[in-house]
A and B are shown apart, each in its own frame.
Chain A
């Protein structure tokens, strides 16, 4: 047989586009991957799933050239390859859509799309060619964006679509998507799925990292489950049921994801928002949040639900408001979040923001410090956190944190544990009303159930929770009532127990041609 015989072999005998053998990776003392092997076949969508800290992202970052493995080998088309940098991975034909947005806010859409592979001649940029190419990419993918716009002016969803467009438009044979759908709305998710379908039809290999079971079952051909950095199983998706997949991921039988709703009716009002106009000239919303209940805010992206949340938290300065706040002892007083976030917290209202890295946690501080911030708030300069050690220990136990100890940096934790630390901070502060955005973004199934449980426990003890989520199933499962927002107005107040995805979607869209639009989505 000649040297290039491999190329002429029938497909099934050709070396796979990607083969990982016994990959190991540790970060300091923490082992992220232990002896993981994996084969990806051309023309298939291969899901990588598992709980928090299972090593999914680490595995993909080895493929993307971000990290170098400690041991093991990577074969591309049967040849052993060492990837030293993201640029090297790209040259080797691996294109990655990273979980964290890598879109740069001060660059235009076109510049972001082509960053790192700009059309150049001896270092000179072909600006015209860039525009044309960006336009072509956007048109092919079906995104209506002006390539000249600065990305910092786009919504998170739009930025994610730019990120995806950037990855997909690369001339590669292997594509990696790391939790791509989290910030996307339904229409955008559909676009992404169509793109992945097209790549698959072209015979590409797609690695798709996701926690979302519905996506895995809808999109993927094969699924590999990791747990605690080790390989658990690789199965054809068609051979699995949701329950068996979850059992593989969690390593224990599926408990109900959502805790049961409260048996008792909700109590007194905690926040009576009679009128709230987040942005001058826009619509006003009114809503009632009572003790003992979890209320959801839903809607299509950009319909004003986020602004309502942020205005209540005092992060966004509302144009106008009329709100009555009732404390635990049932004393009521006017409440004006425009006095600023610090005053809002002092009145017992805590915000858990969508972007934990930027607005929530101090990634370089320990878990104890991050939780302790809640306790230290408003105390004298000389107060030492040491006294609160017992409180911190108690809260950490309540949170079921998975961490070495309380001195571990928050930045080293998985998404789910970071979210628990955020909840813990407000528990320590004695807050009785929680405003929480996207409670389980970037959180795996196992930790999701625990976070839902924490929130349910919080309201059972007389707290109130307002949840913003773009995941309708989450709203239905977690909440007592769901408020649907459209155009800045609350257009529906639906008891979660009787809510269906279709009905909520209909509310989110419009009243009239509901059926037609819902079908189009």
Chain B
């Protein structure tokens, strides 16, 4: 019954479990602590973006600009002498990008694909302008935040938990969260009920961009450098993860659990391919095929049917 809203099915939950079992059995080194730490480090960045992408998908949108936001955020942090200034600048940037994306979609009526494609291209250019080649300085304090451990747990896990917890609170404990689902199911009906739909859509894009910034900061801290093409793959990967997680791109259906399982599945596939020693080019082909299969097996339903 609740799956009318969450989109969670046996497949969304089963896929990551299946992948862990298969990888664990087939490749002994998969379960080695070193590899697990490596995988969770990789998945963290994807998961944080995916959470944002899911929020935008809830209002039937799509945000392709997250990749460029990640890159630009990493460059900003890496080129500022003071890490706090860098982080603050990056967050401000994320807020601005989200507001522009949201306003373009909700107020100017531009299709989300075109709107975020424009900002994606624009921001990518800016990133190369600020930092033409990977490099820059990341202070040790920031690096520690992404690579160390806290209370015996790897730090990346903390980033995941904080972001997922924050988005969960947003979705289920705030009025905005309820309105995201309402607008995604039927914007017109929501408006007739007094929901300010434009504001809700703008907020969704802002949340998404802010999470992309967080992901960018995390990545910069993790690799101890800024990189103008660091996030390039994340735009489409986050959309893939969202779809794998049972989130409907037509709006109104999605969940935190879906975003997590989606990102987890995609990250595990990447890791598995690496461990198998298969050509990284095949990874793309494999992911594409898997996405198609996963979306086909999941019983697709638009809201209301």
- The interface of chain A, by Cβ under 8 A from chain B, is 64, 66, 85-87, 90, 96, 98, 100-107, 111, 115-118, 120, 123-125, 127, 149-150, 152-153, 166
Contact = CB atoms under 8 A, between A and B. Distances in A.
Given A102-B189, A125-B177, 7 more contacts: A85-B191, A87-B194, A106-B252, A106-B253, A107-B181, A116-B194, A124-B175
Given A120-B175, A152-B303, A98 B182 contact: no
A87 B174 CA distance: 19
Given A104-B185, A115-B195, A117-B194, A153 B4 contact: yes
Interface of B (DSSP majority class): helix
A125 B172 CA distance: 8
A90 B192 CA distance: 10
A153 B1 contact: yes
B88 interface: no
B130 interface: no
A297 B290 CA distance: 48
Contact of A123 (B175, B193, B194): B175
B177 to A, nearest CB: 7
B178 interface: yes
Contacts of A85: 191, 194, 196
Contact of A90 (B1, B176, B194): B194
B283 interface: no
A368 to B, nearest CB: 27
B4 A150 contact: yes
The interface size bin for chain B is: 20 to 34
B1 A107 contact: no
Interface of B: 1-2, 4-5, 172-178, 181-182, 184-186, 188-196, 252-253, 303-304
Given A111-B178, A115-B182, A150-B2, A66 B192 contact: yes
Interface of A (DSSP majority class): loop
B207 to A, nearest CB: 13
B1 A118 contact: no
B174 A123 contact: yes
B303 to A, nearest CB: 5
Given A111-B178, A125-B175, A105 B194 contact: no
A124 B304 contact: no
Contacts of B177: 125
Nearest to B6: A106
A123 B189 contact: no
A64 B177 CA distance: 25
Nearest to A119: B175
Nearest to B169: A124
B194 A152 contact: no
Given A106-B252, A118-B178, A86 B191 contact: yes
A403 B20 CA distance: 62
